[in-house]
Amino acid sequence: QSPPKPKDEL
């Protein structure tokens, strides 16, 4: 499974 997507990019 994939972890929650980190929206840490701009």
Partner 1 sequence: MNIFRLAGDMTHLASVLVLLLKIHTIKSCAGISLKTQELFAIVFASRYLDIFTDFISLYNTLMKLIFLGSSFSIVWYIRRHKLVRRSYDKDQDTFRHYFLLLPCFILALLINEKFTFKEVMWTFSLYLEAVAILPQLVLLQRTKNIDNLTGQYVFLLGAYRGLYILNWIYRYFTEPHYVHWIPWISGLVQTLLYADFFYYYFESWKNNKKLQLPA
- Which chain residues interact with partner 1 by CB under 8 A? 2-3, 5-10
Q: Min. distance of Cβ 5 from partner 1 in angstroms? A: 7
CB of 2 to partner 1, least distance (A): 6
- Residue 3: how many CA atoms within 13 Å on its side-chain side? 2
Residue reference for tokens 């840490």: 8
Compute the least distance from the CB of residue 3 to partner 1, in Å: 5
